[in-house]
Structure 1
Amino acid sequence: MVCVLPDDPVEILRLCAIGYDELCWPEDYGLTPSEIRERRAVRDDDGELVVPDPNEVEPVAFRAWVETTFGVTVPATASEIVATTADMDDETSDDPFCRWTREYSG
């Protein structure tokens, strides 16, 4: 994925405050971070769910800071902030960053 996500710095902070491990998977933007962790989880021999990294935590303090400092809310999913994404191989995309990468990558 190569594109402009939000073009407003506060929107970038809101996006980061959602708590995704990575922002490079637009197919996950409709899911919450906890839904993504559950999807990656596996069951152990006792049938208990085991997440890949049990130390992953929601960025509660950062989320609160963003909301308080900028008077905004942090949504549950990235799809509420990022309207469209583009792929570097998408030659028809009008996304400015995608166009720039195509121009300079040959």
Structure 2
Amino acid sequence: MVLPFEFHALFDWMEANGFLMPSEAYPGDRLGLLGTEDDVQSDRVTAILFRVATGEQARSNGRDWFGEIVPNIEERLVPFARTGGDGSCAAFWLDDEGCQQIVHLGSEGLVCRLGRTPLDFLRLLAIGYEEISGDGLGAPGEPPRDTLRNEAYRAWLAERFAVPVPRTAAEILGEVPDALAETSSDPFWRWVREQQDGAA
């Protein structure tokens, strides 16, 4: 599991701008933000808190989802950000072919891939949803209500990577399987269901 180059650039930008806040859950750690703490509280940026889980924390999180079914789950699934106030998170996932991808683990069971590349994920954040786990995945075909959210982040993304920001999450994600879906072409959804069905 490696931190993508694009994430190194993002974390450097957060550090340079002081877009950090102390972690209440993990004293001594800091959380990366898309703006200041006041920006987060005032809804001027997407509410996402970056903090890469330790191996022990990744193991605990993975066991909450899969029990003991996936050996060494911390080598396959490592949370790196809280995507909503409900406890949902984004994670790095190592698929069965050894390809590292970015995925979503929803507190209510919604799981999906968050784009095909790390840059897709950064573009997804730039759209300006209140939360990725909320309106971003709940209504991916709809644009955010506030189009002014994440202005500084969007400007940095355009300058650093020269990529367009899509209007909706669906332009990156396609169809997002909901928590009650019985079938999906989403590779992470299929992997999660295979593990959970194997445990039954």
TM-score scaled by structure 2? 0.38
Q: Which is bigger in relative contact order (C-alpha 8 A, separation at least 6)?
A: 1
Pick the aligned partner of 1:22 from 128, 131, 141. 131
What CA distance in whole angstroms lies between the structure 2 residues aligned with 1:33 and 1:65?
20
TM-superposed deviation, 1:22: 1.9
Alignment-derived partner of residue 156 in structure 2: 65
What CA distance in whole angstroms lies between the structure 1 residues aligned with 2:120 and 2:192?
22
Worse-matched range after superposition: 66-75 or 87-96: 87-96
Call closer, same or farther: CA 1:88–1:30 in 2, change over 3 Å. closer
TM-superposed deviation, 1:88: 4.4
Alignment-derived partner of residue 167 in structure 2: 76
Pick the aligned partner of 1:34 from 145, 157, 166. 145
TM-superposed deviation, 1:13: 0.2
Q: Which has the higher strand share?
A: 2
TM-score scaled by structure 1? 0.66
Where does the alignment leave 5 or more consecutive residues of structure 2 unmatched? 1-109
What CA distance in whole angstroms lies between the structure 2 residues aligned with 1:18 and 1:30?
12
Contact 1:18-1:74 at 8 Å conserved across structures? yes
Amino acid at match of 1:10: L
Q: Deviations over 1:27-84 (max 9, x none)?
A: 522322226x9xxxxxxxxxxxxxxxxxxx6100101111111111112221222212
Call closer, same or farther: CA 1:28–1:94 in 2, change over 3 Å. closer
Contact 1:88-1:101 at 8 Å conserved across structures? no
Aligned length: 86
